[in-house]
Amino acid sequence: MALTKLVRPLRGGQITIPAEFRAKLDIDERTLLQITLAGQELRIRPVQVTDAAAGSDWARKLYDLYAPVRKEAARHSEKEIDAEIDRAVTAVRRKRGSRRS
């Protein structure tokens, strides 16, 4: 039989997972939770993270490749970066639109 509880979100939107649910699922402060929106339903499940660093050489290379971009981006505000992205997207859309005409 499924356990059911009613909980109320806090002002900031946080919810509390009842203690008996956490105990049954072995959830503690170190547990990562996967939250999925499925229609009008939230599904929450604990997930295990494995150390994949040894097998992720390509990810490290990609991360290193973008180091200059991260350094440059750190000099700008999020608003400035968003504006530049918007300008680039608009330019590409204009270019694509002119090819279709």
pLDDT tens profile 14-54? 999 999 999 999 999 989 999 999 999 999 999 987 765 56
Q: Measured on CA atoms in the order 26, 29, 31, 37, is the torsion positive or negative?
A: positive
CA distance 63 to 80: 23
Q: Where do the structural domains in the chain lie, given as residue ranges?
A: 4-8+13-49, 53-100
Quote the tokens at residue 90.
Answer: 């608009």
pLDDT band at 100 (very low <50, low <70, confident <90, very high): low
Residue 46: strand, helix, or coil: strand
* Triad 83, 88, 90: Cα angle to 5°: 95
CATH 2.10.260 fits 4-8+13-49, yes or no: yes
In this predicted structure, what is the pLDDT of residue 39?
93
